[in-house]
Amino acid sequence: MSTVNELLDMSKIELTNLKSSEIFLVRDLFKGYEWNRISRSDRLLLGTLFLNYIKSNDISVVPIEKTLSGQQRYKIM
């Protein structure tokens, strides 16, 4: 199983496959079975690390509203 930092690196790489104006959740950056294999605590930590990453780096991703289930949505600018 990958560490949370490895998962964060994987999500950064996957960002390059998204198109401008595309809206996504962190879970969308992983295949369904991969996401389901990540423990809940690691998914929560990954979400926090991803949000901190986009806020502290000059990349074209911005956080937008949260879903009804509390998941942060993002948009590629």
The pLDDT value recorded for residue 2 is: 81
Q: Over the stretch 23-72, which tens digit does the pLDDT of each residue have?
A: 999 999 999 999 999 999 999 999 999 999 999 998 999 999 999 999 99
Q: How many domains does the chain have?
A: 1
Q: What gap in Å lies between CA 39 and CA 52, rounded to an integer?
A: 20
* Structural domain range at position 45: 4-76
**pLDDT score of 1 more than 70:** no
Q: Over the stretch 10-20, which tens digit does the pLDDT of each residue have?
A: 999 999 999 99
Residue 12 burial (10 A CB sphere; 0-12, 13-18, 19+): middle
* pTM (two decimals): 0.91
Give exposure, 25-63, as e/b (b: 16+ Cβ within 10 Å): bbbbbbeeeebeebeeeebebbbeebeeebeeeeeebee
